[in-house]
Every structure is written in structure tokens, then in C-alpha cells.
Amino acid sequence: MLLMSLACRAGGQEEPAAEASAPRQILVMLHLPAPHFRPDASYGANYRDDAGRLARRRVAEALAREHGLTILEGWAMPALNVDCYRMAEPPGAEPGKIVEVLSRDARVDWAQAINTFSAQASDPLYPVQPAARQWQLGEVRKAATGRKVLVAVIDSGVEADHPDLAGQLAFQENFVDGQPYAAETHGTGVAGVIAALAGNGVGIEGVAPDARLMALRACWQVAGGATRCNSFTLAKALNFALMHGAQVINLSLSGPADRLLRELIDVACARGVRVVGAVDAASADGGFPASHPGVFAVAADSRRQLTAQVLMAPGRDIPTAAPGARWGMVSGSSYSAAHISGMMAVLSELRPGLTLPQVRSSIVLQPGGINLCATVTRLTGKCTCVCVEVTPPKIARQP
């Protein structure tokens, strides 16, 4: 199971032993006037050096001097109209005190601690894919395959040249500071469930094999196979996804609410982007971002009591791609979320203009999960497989 859980520890990308002794890190947001930033295809950490950015850098340096902070990195986030600075607190600083003071400073939009995320865990394999039978994928693909829909996989690294993923990546970006891009287990597995090639004679078939993936590495694999992310790396990847036209965003992670991530998800939802989050079975509310309004929350285990808003999808003994041109069996709501992201790509191809409430009302539920065939029938009016009779939803015209 590779569901992410969040612990409020020091940020950074160190191994567990180093994290305990590392200084606490915080994020400081400074207002970014819209006219001063023009994103382009090469947008990255070294964003355009203009007078406005230099002025905000001077403000950041002044704040750092006043509070004994060390500036580690600055990053423009035009999706939120802010510059985000990652800073280290001085040794011995009282937890939360500097953030509290900075949040009252007129020069600062807001400040917060960095939270560290920790991971818990008719091709040959197509017949054993649960979704092949439960979702009748062979028949659903007669209507749609997620063609040209852009899905952001914000996760650990994806193996771009894996036999089941070769040519599927539209973007491959690394947002983990100080580490080269690497192919890793969790990201590769999630990407495989969403968009593995169909009919190539090897491995598995993704739910949306004609979707295009944005492999945005915001998490990293550590010794022992665990996977970590933090507020800053995830925010950088979310901002990139929003600035480059993602239609679906997969977040196979969970934890307590985080303001920076919440603000970015709000922007995504306002734009009609379909954000999918994995439910944390150990959390009473399912954890963040699954508990966030507008996010499609997904779980794999139907034995616990779940709210009506939580979607069920295959998440046990799922065959998927693995680094090293291999395949393996995985379980967990991370992979359930990946199934729903693939489904969202299929629905986006069919009806790209639906609002998020309209998408939710179009999904046909049955005991144990989703009837994808009936959902497709509801949207197209044509039943291509064995599915229950459904009534087309009443979709109001948008003003």
C-alpha cells in the first residue's frame, strides 16, 4: 500500500536519521503582481529575473535577517500570485513562533511550516486486472480511451522508457531539490494504472491508455522503499500542473490540511480541473486532500464506513508497471485513486465541459463501487456493454 500520510516534522529531503537533527523549515509567501511574471515553456526554479522579483527577494532577505532565518530557495507560483520562499529557522527557535510573527507582518501574504509526507505502501496481465472485468474496460474503450487528455501524476519518479509507458509522457519534471530525476516504484505504478499502453503485447493496460501524462516528481524514495514528499515540493508540482494545462491531477497521498496545497487545489477546482485524492483509512475524515471540497476522494476498502462522497475503486492485488521494465502486484488506495484518475480522463474526453458537480452526478454507483460502463452510457446515450439502465442526468446550461 502506498497511501501517503503526513507528519508535522522538519521539511527537506534528507533520510530519516538526518530529518531528526535538521533545522525546521518554513514557507513564506510574498505577493507577486501579475504583470511582473510571464510563464513560458522553460519555466522552472530560475524564473525570470525582473525588478519585481528582485524587490521581493530583498523583502525576503530583510525578513530573514530580522528573524535569523536562512533562505534556502525561492520559487514563483503564479497560479497563486505569490513568490514562495523556503527558509530554515535558527537553532533553538520556539516551534511555531516565527511563523506566527511572520503571519502578522504586512509584507507577508502568509507563512506556514513545511509538512513532510511519508509513504506507507489484453496484454498478458490484462485478464488479471480487476478493472478489466469490474469496469468492462474493453467495452468502455469503444466509446473513449482518454485520448489527448492531460493527466498530472504528482508523485515519485516515473520510468519514462518502461515498455508500458514509452511515449506516454508529455512532461517529465523534477521538483525535488538536490536530487536528479529517478524512476521510482510508486510513481511508475500509479502511472501504469492510469495510462499503460494497450495492445502492445506486454504487461498491463491503463484505464485511459491514450491519455498523456505529466510525470511531476515531487516525492522521492528513501532507503527501505519508503517514499517522502513535502509541502514545498508538492506545491511546486501543483503550480506547474496548473500553469501547463493539466485536466486531471492525481494525488495519491494523504495527511492533515496544508494551506499552500489547499490554495492551489482551490485554484484547480475553480478551473474545472478534476483533482483525485486517496483516502487514508487511518484518518477519521479520510485525510487531506481527500477531505477537501471539490476533490474526488477514493478508497479501496469497503469494510469501513465511508461517506457517500467517497468513490470506491479497485485497490487490491493490482498488477502494474515497476521500474526496471518490470511489473508487480500492488495494493492500496493510492492505486484506487489512479483508477479514478484514468476514469476522469475517459470522462474528460467524452464531456470536457462538465463542471465538477456535473461530473460527480454523472457517475453511476453500484454496490461495491462504480459502474463505469453505465457512467459512459449516461454521458453518451449509447450502451456498448452489459450495464444497468440509466437515466441521463439533467445538466443545467451554464450562463
Judged by DSSP in three states, 397 sits in coil
* Residue 83 is a catalytic residue: no
Label residue 278 left, alpha or beta by phi (over 0 means left) and psi (-120 to 50 means alpha). beta
Helices assigned H by DSSP within 310-382: 333-350, 356-362, 372-380
φ, ψ dihedrals at 258, nearest 5°:
-135, 125
- Are the CB atoms for 340 and 276 separated by under 8 Å? yes
Backbone Cα Rg of the chain: 21
- Are the CB atoms for 20 and 30 separated by under 8 Å? no
* Residue 186 is a catalytic residue: yes
Q: Which helix (H) or strand (E) holds 200?
A: none
* Residue 285 is a catalytic residue: no
Which one of the listed residues 67, 118, 123, 155 is annotated catalytic? 155
Which one of the listed residues 67, 186, 292, 339 is annotated catalytic? 186
Q: Which helix (H) or strand (E) holds 102?
A: helix 97-103
> Angle, nearest 10°, between helix axes 333-350 and 185-195?
40
Say how many C-beta atoms besides its own lie within 10 A of residue 338's C-beta: 35
Say how many C-beta atoms besides its own lie within 10 A of residue 138's C-beta: 15
Which are the catalytic amino acids? 155, 186, 334
